């Protein structure tokens, strides 16, 4: 019997752990563990539910689990959602995806030790990223890449997606007393902060794959994609793909996304190049994953060898004004409201608010802003979020400390009629001139 342990990688397509679990097994247990570490409430947190995960991301996760269960059922299996620690079960083979985050590395080291003691066959596949980060680091002389350019110079071959997964999955068979629970509701997990204008982005592999196809259908758009061009205030139809939450949870394979973009390029006469192209956006993701994996204390200022030591302010008044959209700058407040309501905002809106909190205006610790993003974003991703906060606060990677976004004129360029601001801050409606 094989245990397939889903953590990220909530999909059937391009899933090497699923293939390994099915290979030669009479029974496969596809398991997702509701980890108390992520779900633990914090009474001092600004809103109910888990201190680590906001309502939009948890909703996205629950939808992704429901979709995974439906997809597994269509192939003769089902998702086993359990509380607690599955390492005590009697299994012969354990399959899961390699995860570079410190919490996961620590957990998986224990799991590997346990599997070795018990003689359990282990399959740990690299499938969350396009490249194997160990190979990238080896190619970079054993060090973290510090610039995007040096990262791109030292690329290894991209791994290809492996298809849609087996057409039928061995049944779970006898559960040997394992207590399986249904996918919980938000209320059952302690969330009560429901609001109108909830995130429009629904979770799951099915929606992720459809969104990928829709995004790539306009091949001209793909070939002309150029960031930072694009309107950060477009919200009815965002200017970028909004595939980040699907990549974060692995509902969509980054390798599939990458190979599909390359296919579009192969049919085109010309297309944009890194660092601004759509392909490059995925390379930025790989860059931050690799840098984060190879840097000690990547999520901290102190003890992080790549991070400038800056005497930031520890001012909770300023921090909460920023977090709650009360700075008095409509563009900053509207963007932070979009973050709270939708769990997503455009890359340049993230730039603007992160710059405002740190070197641009408030001079508050970047780690504090990172924590707010980490709780509220549906795509919150340890490596990418920390990497971008280091960048935006000019603490690492980018050192042009005085290149600041104006909290007034920057958004005016795009949002001439104030549609974005009026949508997310309706209180402004009557005052718009
Ligand atoms: P698209 O432009 O369509 O790009 C496609 C994919 O490329 C994205 O889904 C994402 O996976 C990747 N990508 C794009 N831009 C970046 C980038 N700068 N760095 C790394 N990968 C990138 N992105 C996250 O996924 N999770 C985070 O927690 C996160 N935190 C951020 C914090 C700050 C302060 C800033 C400035 C940016 C952050 N980003 C984060 C990066 C970026 O803003 C989002 O990935 C992007 O806006 C997601 O929208 P999209 O899927 O439409 O992107």
Question: Do 418 and 320 share a domain, yes or no?
Answer: yes
Are 114 and 44 members of one domain? yes
Is the domain of 285 the same as that of 333? no
The string of pLDDT tens digits covering residues 399-424 is 888 889 999 999 999 999 999 999 99
Joined tokens for residue 232: 């950060």
The number of CA neighbours under 13 Å toward the Cβ of 144 is 22
The predicted structure's pLDDT at residue 346:
98
Q: How far is the CA of 380 from the centre of ligand 1 (A)?
A: 9
- Say how far apart CA 322 and CA 361 lie, in whole Å: 11
How far apart are the CA of 278 and the centre of ligand 1, in A? 11
Q: Which of 90, 113, 128 marks a domain boundary?
A: 128
241 occurs within a structural domain = yes
**Residue 162: inside a domain:** no
Among 227, 260, 294, give the residue marking a domain's end: 294
Q: Rounded to the nearest whole angstrom, what is the distance from the C-alpha of residue 249 to the centroid of ligand 1?
A: 14
ipTM of the complex: 0.99
**Residue 194: inside a domain:** no
CATH of the domain at 226: 1.25.40.80
Mean pLDDT by 10 residues, the chain (433 residues): 96 98 95 86 69 92 98 97 70 96 96 94 97 96 94 94 96 82 91 81 98 98 95 96 98 98 98 97 98 98 97 97 97 97 97 97 98 97 98 93 91 93 89 68
> pTM for the complete prediction?
0.96
Specify whether 289 is located in the same domain as 327.
no
Number of domains in the chain: 3
**Cα 7 to chain centroid, rounded:** 13
Q: Are 371 and 321 within one domain?
A: yes
Q: What is the pLDDT of residue 85?
A: 61
Domain CATH code at residue 66: 3.40.50.620
Is any ligand 1 atom within 6 A of the Cβ of residue 261?
Answer: no
Q: Same domain, yes or no, for 278 and 387?
A: no
**CB of 378 closer than 6 A to ligand 1?**
no
Answer yes or no: is 302 within a domain.
Answer: no
In-domain check, residue 350: yes
Q: What is the DSSP string of 120-168?
A: -EEEEE--SSSS-HHHHHHHTTTS---SHHHHHHT--PPPPP--S--SS
Q: Is 248 in the pocket of ligand 1 (CB under 6 A)?
A: yes
What is the reported pLDDT for 100? 98
Q: Is 379 annotated as a binding residue?
A: yes
Q: Indicate whether residue 376 lines ligand 1 (CB < 6 A).
A: no
How far is the C-alpha of 13 from the C-alpha of 186, rounded, in Å?
A: 27
Q: Is the CB of 280 under 6 A from ligand 1?
A: no
| Residue 110 belongs to some domain of the structure | yes
71 in contact with ligand 1, CB cutoff 6 A: no
pLDDT of residue 88: 60
| CB-based contacts of 331, cutoff 8 Å, min separation 6 | 352, 407, 408, 410, 411, 412, 415, 421
> For the segment 119-162, what is each residue's pLDDT rounded down to a tens digit?
999 999 999 999 999 999 999 999 999 999 999 999 999 999 99
In the block, which residue shows the tokens 């998702």? 79
Residues 275 and 331 reside in one and the same domain: no
Q: Answer yes or no: is 214 within a domain.
A: yes
Per-residue model confidence (pLDDT) at position 47:
64
Q: How far does the centroid of ligand 1 lie from the alpha carbon of residue 31, in Å?
A: 29
Task: Give the CATH number for residue 358.
Answer: 1.10.579.10
Judge if 321 and 390 occupy the same domain: yes
Q: What is the reported pLDDT for 355?
A: 97
Kindly state whether residue 189 falls inside one of the protein's structural domains: no
Separation CA 115–CA 93 (nearest Å): 9
Tell me, yes or no, whether 14 and 92 share the same domain: yes
381 CB near ligand 1 (under 6 Å): yes
Residue 328 and residue 394 share a domain:
yes
Would you say 199 and 342 are in contact if contact means Cβ atoms under 8 Å apart?
Answer: yes
Strand ranges of the sheet holding 2-6, from the earlier edge strand across to the other edge: 80-83, 28-34, 2-6, 93-97, 121-125
Q: What is the pLDDT of residue 50?
A: 83
Domain hosting residue 275, numbered range: 206-294
Q: Which of 246, 277, 347 for mutating ligand 1's site (highest number of atoms within 8 Å of CB)?
A: 347
Residue where a domain stops, chosen among 93, 111, 128:
128
- Ligand 1 pocket test, candidate residues 388, 403, 405, most atoms within 8 A of CB: 388
The residue contributing the CA closest to ligand 1 atom 13 is 281
Asked if 7 and 86 sit in the same domain, the reply is: yes
CB distance 247 to 127 below 8 Å: no
What is the SS3 string spanning 198-255?
CCCCCCCHHHHHHHHHHHHHCHHHHHHCCCCCCCCCCCCCCCCCCCHHHHHCCCCCHH
Binding site membership of 388 for ligand 1 (Cβ less than 6 Å): yes
The answer to whether residues 6 and 124 belong to one domain is: yes
- CB-CB contact of 354 with 410 (8 Å): no
């Amino acid at each position: 019997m094989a245990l397939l342990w889903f953590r990220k990688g909530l999909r059937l397509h391009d899933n090497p752990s699923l293939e390994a679990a099915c290979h030669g097994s009479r029974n496969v247990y596809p398991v997702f563990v509701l980890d108390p570490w992520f779900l633990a409430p914090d009474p001092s947190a600004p809103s109910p539910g888990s201190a680590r995960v906001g309502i939009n991301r948890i909703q996205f996760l629950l939808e992704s689990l429901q979709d995974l269960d439906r997809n597994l059922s269509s192939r003769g299996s089902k998702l086993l959602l359990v509380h607690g620690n599955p390492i005590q079960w009697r299994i012969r083979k354990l399959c899961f995806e390699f995860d570079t985050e410190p919490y996961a590395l620590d957990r998986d080291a224990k799991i590997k030790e346990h599997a070795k003691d018990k003689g359990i066959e282990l399959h740990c596949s690299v499938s969350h990223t396009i490249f194997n980060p160990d190979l990238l680091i080896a190619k970079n002389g054993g060090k973290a890449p510090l610039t995007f350019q040096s990262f791109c110079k030292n690329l290894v071959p991209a791994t290809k997606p492996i298809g849609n997964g087996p057409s039928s999955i061995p049944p779970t068979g006898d559960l040997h007393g394992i207590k399986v629970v249904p996918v919980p509701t938000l209320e059952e997990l302690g969330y009560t902060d429901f609001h109108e204008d909830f995130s429009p982005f629904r979770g799951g592999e099915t929606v992720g794959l459809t969104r990928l196809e829709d995004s790539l259908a306009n091949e001209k758009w793909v070939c002309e994609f150029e960031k930072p061009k694009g309107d950060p205030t477009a919200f009815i139809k965002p200017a970028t793909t909004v595939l980040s939450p699907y990549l974060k949870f692995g509902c969509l394979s980054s390798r599939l996304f990458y190979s599909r973009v390359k296919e579009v390029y192969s049919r085109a006469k010309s297309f944009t190049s890194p660092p601004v192209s759509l392909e490059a956006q995925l390379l930025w993701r790989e860059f931050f994953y690799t840098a984060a994996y190879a840097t000690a204390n990547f999520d901290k200022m102190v003890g992080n060898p790549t991070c400038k030591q800056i005497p930031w302010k520890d001012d909770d008044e300023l921090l909460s004004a920023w977090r709650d959209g009360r700075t008095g700058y409509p563009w900053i407040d509207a963007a932070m409201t979009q973050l709270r309501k939708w769990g997503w905002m455009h890359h340049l809106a993230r730039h603007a608010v992160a710059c405002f909190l740190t070197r641009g205006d408030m001079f508050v610790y970047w780690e504090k802003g990172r924590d707010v993003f980490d709780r509220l974003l549906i795509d919150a991703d340890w490596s990418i979020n920390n990497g971008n906060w280091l960048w935006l606060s000019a603490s690492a990677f980018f050192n042009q400390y005085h290149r600041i976004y104006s909290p007034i004129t920057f958004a005016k360029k795009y949002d001439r009629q104030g549609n974005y601001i009026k949508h997310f801050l309706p209180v402004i409606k009557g005052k718009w001139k």
